[in-house]
Structure 1
Amino acid sequence: MKKQAILTQSKLGLAIALALAGPFAYAQQQEQTSDTAIEEVVTTGARLQGSAAAVVEERKAQAFVADILGAEQISRTGDSDAAAALRRVTGLTLVDGKFIYVRGLGERYSSTQLNGASVPSPDPTRNVIPLDMFPASIIESMAVQKSYSPDMPANFGGGNVDIRTISIPTEETFEVSVGTGWNTNFSDDGLTYAGGDDDWLGKDDGTRALPQAMRDALARYQESINTASIASYEGISFAEAAAINRQLGASLNTQNEVYSKSLSPDIKGSLTYGNSYDTGHDVTFGFLAGVDYDNSWTNNEETEEVLGIANGETVVNQRSETRVTTQDVELSGILNFGIKVGDYHRLEASTIFLRNTADRVEQGGIETPNSIDETDLSYYDTDIRYEQRELLTNQIRGSHYFPQLAGFALDWQYADSRASRDAPGEIFYRQINNRDLGEGIGELAFQQTRTATTLQYQTLKDDAQDWRVDGELPWYVGDMEVLLKGGGQVSKKARSSFSRRYALSAEQVANEELVGVDYNDLFSDANILDDDFGLALYGAPTSTDPNYLAAQQIEAGYGMADVQLNSDWRISGGVRWEQYTQVAAQLDIRSMTMIGDIKEAGRVEDDLYGSLAVTYALNDEMQLRFGYGSTVVRPDLRELTEVIFVDPLTDFKVRGNSDLVTTDIDNFDVRWEWYLPSGENYSVAMFYKDLANPIEAVEAKGTDSDRVITFLNGQSGEVYGVEFEFLKDLTALTDGLFVSGNLTLSDSEISIANTGNVELTNNTRRMTGHSKYVTNLQLGYDSLNGEHSASLIYNVAGERIAFAGVKQGELGIDDAFEQPFHSLDLVYTFYPDFNSKVKFKVQNMLGEDVEIEQNGRLIQSRSVGTSFTLEYSYAF
């Protein structure tokens, strides 16, 4: 809050910023604030309060229900990225290590902002940005707002996550850290290949990409490089065209033989430097720069079964046992500049760069013991995938206060962001395993098929611009304090997605050449160029290729008021108007035109969305909150295009649905909060959400050994529950000991009717991804001499539906449930001197695995292992 408008809140906001070594803008206001206001914060004192209670003060001052997670709290739990840290927040669960479910609602029902601005996503099947892209080292705090306010986007279901990056320091600061890590799964050899061994930067050097010769040919032959297409275009003989085709096949990188290797320890490090300068003439300038690097490995054993119905019984149509090794390299950088002119005007500019690369190799046996068309066959599959995700965002924001205009304050921000995903050279090949089922690996033989090996090249670009302006004006009526606020926002997003898939055919290769041969030898340049050997390159666009263009624009304006009626009552609320325009259509890559009627591919909606929040102070320590909000959740860009895409996280084929409609949500919240002077706090909250036309991912009809996921609107849905949270000082047991935690108990229900393409076993059930309980507990210790700090952290979420069961004929397979994962972590920190810190972490101490059960069977499992991390940092 600006100046004296709602004075108590202003002091708290300033106090929190100071306590958290917060943004440059707030820190520079220290000169204007009385000693009394600062002393109110300083006296909260101990490490217990310093690590958690400071952000609790911000939560207490919020008009709407919110949870705040500060940098010190993230450090205590040892979480390395935003996604892992957010699972500690009340009612939040982590899915796939990347996405946050708020109050049991899937990632589509949560929105993400970066310093208050919307950001694009590099995920090909979701609009929501994967939160594992944000390393903890660049995060100052995260705010999870669970009740809707009009100054936020109306696309709000479970909640909104605002990631606030580190900002300008008030004095010179420098911090460097280095670390290493090891996982118990490293005791087994991992998998790698020639193109991906020990790439410490992770970035592709062009080896995996389409060669220039292939690009030129695609342009010349309108994307079809089959022999017949080349012959027709050039007017030459089939034999001459086949020679050109073989030259193109040889230009591709086909030397990707997989082999075993011992895995190296993880390596990580970060460096941050910043300073501020008083340049005179009432102008202060500051900057901060930081870089973060992490090179890590995962090595997992995975099993999967696909169930079916045969003779009235549940049978296994497909079974697999594979090893998956992934090298993840993360590189991020942040550069902030800030300038303060006089006492009332400031500007900040931020550039944030995030790059995550994953080099993944999966290899193992596949069996089809009961498949209708492939009875009792055994295969050995190899799947090599590389993806590079990047986010570059430039933000500039200003804040201005005009005392001569009755204390009017103006904030504005512009953000330009670009996200991309590049997945070049995805390689898959299947070999027949000539042995009886269950007897290990026999002699392997490539198949005499058109798709003896496939190579896929995918690119995605997501560009976003976000403009917003907010104005505040304090107004006093007797003892009543009123803060009027209004503003507008325009958000634009454009996405393009391209995918090309090629295959090397072995249809004309002699059978004896396919048995017991290595991949590199079979698909060598010599064999490809040999017109007598029989290899040929295939690739031409089809109507089902996952190529599409999409765009979205949201224009919004809002007005709201925050009224402090007296010392007991506070009422906040208002209305937001949004106009939503979106188009998403399949693309013909040959002509770069959209397929179908552009009018049918677009939609325009506009509506009003209101909210109301009431806070009643029972006394100086307790308060009650009541909240209501009317919001929506709209289909993702990708979900409206009816083409099939492979989800890189689940490996499921995903098909869009152009008939999806917007979900309307009524949100209700009640929360009781108790904040003690010692820093202890307790809260109990109840929530209810009524959803009209909720969107769910469901399994569509496919083959008996394949899963195809699509999206449907249900008729209705509801989510309701209760949340408990506490922070308790245990110095009565021993000095420096405290415990904190939270518990969420909830339930949900959704009703979805069957369609011709979807036949669900249970038309009324819990919502996908919803857990009936989520628990977080932390036992913390801080020595009185300040040299030692330790935390034992436990997290678990109840079973949740991974995907809904479907009918086969008159019989149905039950829903598949992901089982509870009991996470127990230990973090110990030693402070040898004022500037140094040594941190030791043990994660997944119980050695839990990720497991999914269906019809009483374990159908998916993934070993996680126990990881150990040691870090050293130095700061001044």
Structure 2
Amino acid sequence: MNKVLPLKRQLFLFLFFISCSFTTLAQTVLKGQVTDTKTGETLIGATVHIENGNTVLNTSVKLDGTYTFNNLKAGDYKLHVSYVSYKTTRDFEVAVADGKVNVLNVAMIDNSTALNEVAVIEYASKASDHSARNTEKNANNTLNAISAQAIAISPDVLVSNVLGRMSGISIDRSNTGDARHVIIRGMDKQYNTTLVNGVKIPSPDNRNRYLPLDIFPAGLVDRLEVYKTLTPDMEGDASGGVVNLVMKSAPDQLKIEGEFGTGYSQIFFNRSFQSFDHNAGNEQSPGEIHPGKIASISEFPYQSLITKKANAPINKTASLTIGNRYLDGKLGVLFSGTFQNLYQGNNSFIVVQESTVGTSPDINTPNQETAFQNSDNRQYSSQLNRYGAIASIDYKFNNANIIKLFATYVALNEYRVRQTEETTYGGYSFNGYHGPFSIDNLTQTRKDLQSIYNITLSGKHNIFKGISADWIGSTSQATEKMPDMAEFDTNYQYQQNIPDGATSPTSIQPGPVMVGNESRGWQHNTDKDLSGYFNLHYKPDHIFNSKVEFSAGGMVRHKTRDNFRDQYSLSNTYVPGSSPPVPEPYTTIPNATFQWKDQDTSYAYGSYRTDAGVYTFTENINAIYGMIKYDVTDKLDVIFGVRNENTHQSYNSSLPATFPGKSADINYTDLLPSINAKYALTNEQAIRVAYYKSILRPSFYDIVPAQDNSQDDAYYGHIGNPYLQHTVIDNYDIRYEFFPGVFDEFMLGGFYKHLTNPIETSLQPSTGGATLYYIPNNPSESAQNFGVELLALKYFGNIGASINYTYTNSQITTPKTVNVQGDLIHRTQTRPLQGQATNIGNASLLYKNQKSGVDAQLSVAYTGERLAAVSTYYGLDTWEKPTTFLDFSAQKKVGRHFIVYVKANNLLNTPYQLFIKQDNQSNYSGSSKYPHQESPNYTTVQYDQFYSRYSLGAKYNF
């Protein structure tokens, strides 16, 4: 007990301090908020004027959304408010009482609005911070939101990077350094879903369901919402959370916004940027052009492998948004488009693990990964063309009927050159020098073309008194094309120099450079969704003197996915008449000649006929639900119900007919109950509790049971598992939330998740094989994940501060292998779930000066150590080191319509590092030391550097 009481006192003092920071000490004060009559948006910078006899005072609405007059004398005051483009208010009579906080909130009307105009609530802006706070406060379930206003002044230009700053979210990065996927509450990316305007859309990823979020420019978004709990009317395959991208929609008056920016990546001041001819190479593989026929060497032209260098190319970005309402506000139209041409890079070092490990004296001593046979130094140069366009049309027939047509198209085309220096170990030692056996220099050129389009038609209708309905019809398609990915190899071996008559070498030197092998590959996939949603609502006047709403509905989705891959390996030729055969010396790429391996033309057919990457997949999901929203008291609201989801999957692959799992038909049904309760302590404070059951469906490619070595940037192949079971998760959630101001908020919550048949991908050797593969499985019957989230946002006049922190702890017990003196012994190990970081935190400092029109933000994002890859061996899991990213942004208003801005990302040049927790004495020092080894206590197996990026630009708003 003596230890518990001090902790309670510390917690009490902490909460007391937080509460005090949101309150105003008792004194004679006149304060209030100034908002737009129609949208409810706070009018920051509005001038508030008061007078009482000879006392005349003026102030402005601050960043916290309020105006304040302190230390007033008691008496009767006249007050009016003025703001650019708004009608000055009438004089308000305010009686200020001595020693009290007197409050007067004022709503202003813009110059284009008639006094008797009725606001069209459906079209109110979702882009403001005020709207985001109201969304959080009034939501049926637990969620966090960030507005377009907050996004605009942040250092980020991508949706994925913005999400990485939200409470409970960590991110993983692509080879360009951009955030690509989100991990919510320690649940790996596969446990989360992404919606666009509430509709799930397919992914262009050729292996996974989850969306690569770096395809979405942030400028198309009005608000980002992250749902932490589910209600019965939401799809049940999200256990970590749901990311909903609320896109821009038609405004209530003319809107014209434009932007142009430029910038550069620091990495290309340290080395050159390499590019290739994007038009070179064939769009289709020989196997597609003439199926079943032998390809000739001439069908693989060398032009796409020719690279050229440039110094620090300049980035370019541009966007335009136009929207307005017509026909007395009934018809709304908006178009928004954006384009980015960016140059980004990465310097990467990797040592490749093997399936052979050192032996241990007993079952409790971890093995050592000692068989590092080669390492790679890679330089990536990527040109990224990112396109985005949305169009929105809505029409309000009357107060009872509204329809909306929305369309979006986003695309990310990456043109990449990867230069690799691959070192093979096991070379010669001489006079303390330990050299490699050989060096391979590989040039790879790749086009990765991803796109998503979506068309959604939706409607809302009041049918009878108390009865309403809404519906959505949606069609979507996601594609990825990687035409003619080419890689060319040259290599040389180290040799001992032994002079004539000598018995020992006098030096070690590299031999002549030879032509190595060449590989060519084609891959493309298409994922199509056809979805329909229908919801019926009945809201009687009252039941038992309480408000109640009954809802029922369902959804159907027909998904078809097809995947194609065709690969060819071309062998180098040999010097005629050489014995033993000597490879062709390298001069230039155009002069290099190739042949089929062992001159066997069977290799000329390509891989597509028996390739596991060639398959079709169909998935039909049908769901129905029933839900009741019941106001038990004035303070207690409860939403409860149940959802039933049926999943029917089938696939057929190009595997041989005798191969187990060539095709399959899978069918299962899940009953998913849920309850969300909200208890209002005051108008600004509430407690939420929730329980819901959810599922995880395996990705399509994880089910196809064949060996795949084609993963481009992964050093290990993939083998699917046709016996993989879907996961069922029980989720519990509690949160206290406090909204003391227009923008201020404080949230403290906890969560617990119990997983049945969790899915993880482990790094293990194939059956009887010496090479490591990623293999998905259900490693345990159950796992658990729990944690605590804290979010605090407070504005002090012109300065705002925000902090969020998440503590997560997960546990799963899985079988492991230990090599004990040559015998493989099995044991279990308890560890965290894949992708879960114990500590995640973000902090931002915001400065806003209305008089000078300056906004500035300094942001820090921290992600703690987390498990990156699971090994089949005890103690040899791969971990990601903690990261701290520092970013800065600032903007200055010029005149009434222009803003100039600057953004800087990754100012600390934070690397991405993977390591194994094992003794590293032999690799940390001495003649055989590996690069980037930082400690004798762990082995660094990957070290990537992206360097800082800078951009500046101008915006126009009308």
Q: TM-score, normalised by structure 2?
A: 0.77
2:271 is aligned to 189
User: Secondary structure of the residue that 1:831 maps to in structure 2?
Assistant: strand
* 714-723 or 612-621: bigger deviation: 612-621
Could you tell me how far 1:188 is from its partner in structure 2?
3.0
| Aligned-partner Cα distance in 1 for 2:358–2:694 | 45
Q: Where do 5+ consecutive residues of structure 2 fail to align?
A: 1-35, 44-103, 111-125, 174-178, 361-367, 428-434, 497-506, 919-937
User: Secondary structure of the residue that 2:352 maps to in structure 1?
Assistant: strand
1:201 is aligned to none
1:488 aligns to 2:554 (yes or no) = yes
**Quick one: which amino acid aligns to residue 513 of structure 2?**
L
Provide, for residues 129-185 of structure 1, a one-character-per-residue CA deviation record: whole Å limited to 9, x for no partner.
111111111111121111121111111210111111101111121111100111210
* 618-627 or 425-434: bigger deviation: 425-434
* 429-438 or 542-551: bigger deviation: 429-438
Cα contact 1:613–1:627 (8 A) shared by 2:
yes
1:25 is aligned to none
| Aligned-partner Cα distance in 1 for 2:508–2:895 | 59
| Aligned-partner Cα distance in 1 for 2:787–2:745 | 21
Q: Where do 5+ consecutive residues of structure 1 fail to align?
A: 1-13, 22-38, 197-204, 227-244
Q: 1:290 to 1:709 in 2, by over 3 A?
A: same
More helix by share: 1
Could you tell me how far 1:43 is from its partner in structure 2?
9.0
User: Secondary structure of the residue that 1:521 maps to in structure 2?
Assistant: coil
Matches within 5 A, 1:609-624: 609-624=672-687
2:753 is aligned to 689
Cα contact 1:360–1:385 (8 A) shared by 2:
yes
1:675 is aligned to 739
Could you tell me how far 1:704 is from its partner in structure 2?
9.3
Q: 1:193 to 1:723 in 2, by over 3 A?
A: closer
Provide, for residues 510-556 of structure 1, a one-character-per-residue CA deviation record: whole Å limited to 9, x for no partner.
46662132222214xxx889xx9x99956354634421111111100
Superposition CA RMSD, Å: 3.3
**Quick one: which amino acid aligns to residue 740 of structure 2?**
L
Structure 1 counterpart of 2:494, from 414, 435, 445: 435
1:751 is aligned to 813
Structure 2 counterpart of 1:350, from 380, 400, 406: 406
| Aligned-partner Cα distance in 2 for 1:815–1:441 | 36
User: Secondary structure of the residue that 2:133 maps to in structure 1?
Assistant: helix
| Aligned-partner Cα distance in 2 for 1:772–1:839 | 35
**Quick one: which amino acid aligns to residue 444 of structure 2?**
D
Matches within 5 A, 1:741-820: 741-753=803-815, 763-785=829-851, 787-807=853-873, 812=874, 814-820=876-882
Q: 1:42 to 1:790 in 2, by over 3 A?
A: farther
1:445 is aligned to 514
1:303 is aligned to 349
Structure 2 counterpart of 1:631, from 694, 698, 709: 694
| Aligned-partner Cα distance in 1 for 2:825–2:618 | 32
2:527 is aligned to 462
Matches within 5 A, 1:701-740: 701=765, 707-713=772-778, 714-731=780-797, 736-740=798-802
| Aligned-partner Cα distance in 2 for 1:558–1:40 | 42
Structure 2 counterpart of 1:287, from 333, 338, 355: 333
1:79 aligns to 2:156 (yes or no) = yes
Cα contact 2:250–2:332 (8 A) shared by 1:
yes
**Quick one: which amino acid aligns to residue 692 of structure 1?**
T
Cα contact 2:575–2:583 (8 A) shared by 1:
yes
1:414 is aligned to 473
Matches within 5 A, 1:443-592: 443-447=512-516, 452-475=517-540, 476-507=542-573, 510=576, 514-523=584-593, 537=604, 539-541=606-608, 543-587=610-654
**Quick one: which amino acid aligns to residue 263 of structure 1?**
A
1:831 aligns to 2:893 (yes or no) = yes
What is the percentage of aligned positions where both structures have the same residue?
21
Q: 1:851 to 1:20 in 2, by over 3 A?
A: farther
1:122 is aligned to 204
**Quick one: which amino acid aligns to residue 306 of structure 2?**
E
Structure 1 counterpart of 2:444, from 378, 383, 394: 383
Could you tell me how far 1:259 is from its partner in structure 2?
3.9
Cα contact 2:612–2:704 (8 A) shared by 1:
no
| Aligned-partner Cα distance in 2 for 1:649–1:497 | 19
User: Secondary structure of the residue that 1:129 maps to in structure 2?
Assistant: coil
Could you tell me how far 1:436 is from its partner in structure 2?
6.6
Q: 1:537 to 1:193 in 2, by over 3 A?
A: farther
Q: 1:377 to 1:835 in 2, by over 3 A?
A: same
1:31 is aligned to none
User: Secondary structure of the residue that 2:590 maps to in structure 1?
Assistant: helix
| Aligned-partner Cα distance in 1 for 2:378–2:480 | 26
Cα contact 1:760–1:806 (8 A) shared by 2:
no
Cα contact 2:188–2:835 (8 A) shared by 1:
yes
1:54 aligns to 2:131 (yes or no) = yes
Provide, for residues 40-93 of structure 1, a one-character-per-residue CA deviation record: whole Å limited to 9, x for no partner.
795999xxx996343122111112111112111211223212111111111011
1:337 is aligned to 393
| Aligned-partner Cα distance in 2 for 1:655–1:667 | 31
| Aligned-partner Cα distance in 2 for 1:41–1:366 | 68
Matches within 5 A, 1:106-117: 106-117=188-199
**Quick one: which amino acid aligns to residue 734 of structure 2?**
V
2:904 is aligned to 842
User: Secondary structure of the residue that 1:155 maps to in structure 2?
Assistant: coil
Q: 1:514 to 1:255 in 2, by over 3 A?
A: farther
| Aligned-partner Cα distance in 1 for 2:384–2:172 | 18
Could you tell me how far 1:495 is from its partner in structure 2?
0.5
Cα contact 1:761–1:814 (8 A) shared by 2:
no
User: Secondary structure of the residue that 1:388 maps to in structure 2?
Assistant: strand
Could you tell me how far 1:595 is from its partner in structure 2?
7.4
1:35 is aligned to none
Provide, for residues 232-251 of structure 1, a one-character-per-residue CA deviation record: whole Å limited to 9, x for no partner.
xxxxxxxxxxxxx35xx346
1:64 is aligned to 141
Q: 1:441 to 1:704 in 2, by over 3 A?
A: farther
| Aligned-partner Cα distance in 1 for 2:275–2:319 | 29
Q: 1:117 to 1:770 in 2, by over 3 A?
A: same
| Aligned-partner Cα distance in 1 for 2:138–2:230 | 16
* 655-664 or 635-644: bigger deviation: 635-644
User: Secondary structure of the residue that 1:55 maps to in structure 2?
Assistant: helix
Q: 1:444 to 1:594 in 2, by over 3 A?
A: same
1:271 aligns to 2:320 (yes or no) = yes
| Aligned-partner Cα distance in 2 for 1:672–1:576 | 27
User: Secondary structure of the residue that 1:56 maps to in structure 2?
Assistant: helix
Q: Which has the larger radius of gyration?
A: 2
1:179 aligns to 2:261 (yes or no) = yes
**Quick one: which amino acid aligns to residue 543 of structure 1?**
T
Could you tell me how far 1:444 is from its partner in structure 2?
2.3
2:234 is aligned to 152
Provide, for residues 392-418 of structure 1, a one-character-per-residue CA deviation record: whole Å limited to 9, x for no partner.
11111111123xx22222111111001
User: Secondary structure of the residue that 1:519 maps to in structure 2?
Assistant: coil
| Aligned-partner Cα distance in 1 for 2:631–2:800 | 34
* 375-384 or 497-506: bigger deviation: 375-384
| Aligned-partner Cα distance in 2 for 1:874–1:551 | 46
| Aligned-partner Cα distance in 2 for 1:595–1:873 | 62
**Quick one: which amino acid aligns to residue 891 of structure 2?**
T
Could you tell me how far 1:355 is from its partner in structure 2?
1.0
| Aligned-partner Cα distance in 1 for 2:699–2:825 | 23
Could you tell me how far 1:806 is from its partner in structure 2?
3.3
| Aligned-partner Cα distance in 1 for 2:393–2:143 | 29
Provide, for residues 243-296 of structure 1, a one-character-per-residue CA deviation record: whole Å limited to 9, x for no partner.
xx35xx3464555123432231111101111121116xxx82121112110011
Cα contact 1:844–1:867 (8 A) shared by 2:
yes
Q: TM-score, normalised by structure 1?
A: 0.83
